[in-house]
Amino acid sequence: MRKKRSLLFFLLLLILPACQAFDNTPVAVSTRQSSAPAATQIPLATVTAPDTVEPLPTSDADPGSSPTAVSAESAVLPAPSIFETTWDNRELFRAGLIPEQQDVLDALPGASVYHMVLNFDEPTAVTGQMEVRYTNQETIPLDSIYFHIFPDQLGGHITFGDVTLNGQAAETKRDATTLQVLLETPIEPGQQAIVQMGFKTAVPSEVSTLYNILGYNEGILALAHFYPMIATYDDHGWHIESSPDHGDETYADMSFFLVQVNAPEKQTVVTSGVEIERGETAGKQNITIAAGPVRDFYLVMSERFNVVSDHAGPVQINSYAPRELLDGAGFALQSAGHALQSYNERFGPYPYRELDIVSTPTQALGVEYPGIFANALRIYDLDQAAASGLPNAVLLESVTAHEVAHQWFYNLVGNDQLNEPWLDEALAQYVTWMYYVDRYGEEAAQPFYDSLEGRWARNEFADIPIGLPAEDYDAADYGAIVYGRGPIFLNQLAQEMGQETFDAFLRDYSEVFRWQIATSEEFQALAEEHCNCDLSTPFAESVYAR
């Protein structure tokens, strides 16, 4: 009976704190339809982005008009043409980082720099102009630059205008998942190239594949992975494999994004990064956003959004939902604030000045992006229960805590989400349990841990490794093993190492690999360094394919 009693107590405990802000001050609730709260404005050199971009072809033919690839070896790199700034100007990104994290602006010298202008003239399409500076950070020459084209995998479609490399027409090849820009002379280690292209992304208005993360539904436009995104190159080469039917889409290095959004005035626009400049032309709001370092750029837009806001230390948290669901937005806001406090103490500071929460019609419960995450609109009505029978408040708190955890484990500490999804998903699940322990105590947190065992029980505690690529699981096993067995393994590892040692290890892991990419082998090696022990047996038994 202990579990039943603690579960009932736990459900009450989850719901009652919703009346209280995380810092014991009232939640600031705005019932207006609003743009994002104003960020600190910093002067930006005159924006030269046009209100429209060049016409785009309607065919699916390979873009580009040059019959031969061009050389980047000794070319003088073109200056930015969308914004009057320089490629190396990182002062524009200072406003988005808390003071103690701004030293990263002097690091990551090879991070890609994206400049984009995005135009919204219809709810189911975005027209863009993009230029990106790519640096070869490898030890070998590269004869191509690959871009992921995710929209076609997400129920939408992307077309391209002319593609240029260092100001000259480029030869390209397109398949179902990538756009390859070829170079006649390879880019040597340390060399850079500028790729420019126009694109138009058609967005599905029907519920689409892969959790409906790219779509226009219920008056909310959600733009996940809508632009051509540079693929990651690592020891295994270019990662240009298609995404599995379940799990996350991306494996990405840190980049810097400077983006102008031209959208109808009534739309509330929420994105990664912070707003640094705003204007109006011809009935449109012109918002300039700086985001970086981040692994992706995400945008959501709706006339229905209202916002509630509060602070957790130096971080402003903004929670967006339709007016009728503002109670849910406030509850998510409070949960995120408590999660930030817990994770800041455990893993070091959240680096950005803002954290945005958006409610979207995603078919997942939640999806993570840098400095922003989406919760499922369907769990925001706190007076209703989910299909599982659990109160929406229970789901909304656990999902919010999980997605905040991803700001450390996926974004700050990156990993190959397609081939080693346990490194962010199992960690986020384990860290969510720690959130409950920190906020409510171990006894009240026990039902969440029981739910992890319940997940694994769905496939009868199958002895399937947690460290497989996402595509090697079927959908049921992916949830049971990565989200169930994975965090249980981490708890077992903590017991073997000692909880205090394990806690110190996780904090060090988040610091050593901050802004970088980590692998399973590096995770194990650092854990062994902390415990001064051999962990090869538990990792062989639970993590690695046998």
pLDDT along the chain (546 residues), means of 10: 37 34 32 37 37 40 39 67 96 97 97 98 95 97 97 94 95 95 94 97 82 94 97 94 86 97 97 97 94 98 98 97 98 98 98 98 95 97 84 96 98 97 98 98 97 96 97 95 98 98 98 98 98 98 90
CATH class assigned to 91-302 = mainly beta
Selecting from 1.10.3720.10, 1.10.10.10, 1.10.390.10, 3.40.800.10, what CATH number does the domain 2-32+307-542 have?
1.10.390.10
Alpha carbons 232 and 251: distance in angstroms, whole number: 7
Q: So what's the pLDDT on residue 14?
A: 36
Q: How many helices (H) and strands (E) does the chain have?
A: 10, 24
Q: So what's the pLDDT on residue 157?
A: 95
CA atoms within 13 Å, Cβ hemisphere of 228: 29
pTM score? 0.88
Give me 382's structure tokens: 């706190």
Q: So what's the pLDDT on residue 209?
A: 64
Cβ contacts of 494 within 8 Å, gap of 6 or more: 502, 503
Q: How far are the Cα atoms of 423, 468, 471 from residue 464, in angstroms, in the given order?
A: 16, 9, 14
Alpha carbons 482 and 486: distance in angstroms, whole number: 5
Strand partners, 289: 259, 275
Cβ contacts of 443 within 8 Å, gap of 6 or more: 6
Q: Where are the domains of the chain?
A: 2-32+307-542, 91-302
Q: How far are the Cα atoms of 189, 198, 257 from residue 192, in angstroms, in the given order?
A: 9, 20, 17
3-state secondary structure of 389: coil
Alpha carbons 262 and 380: distance in angstroms, whole number: 29
Alpha carbons 439 and 178: distance in angstroms, whole number: 44
Give, to the nearest 10 degrees, the angle between helix 2-15 and helix 392-405: 80
Greatest Cα pair distance in the chain: 74
Alpha carbons 334 and 17: distance in angstroms, whole number: 9
Proportion of the chain in helix, strand, coil states, percent, rounded to 5: 30, 30, 40
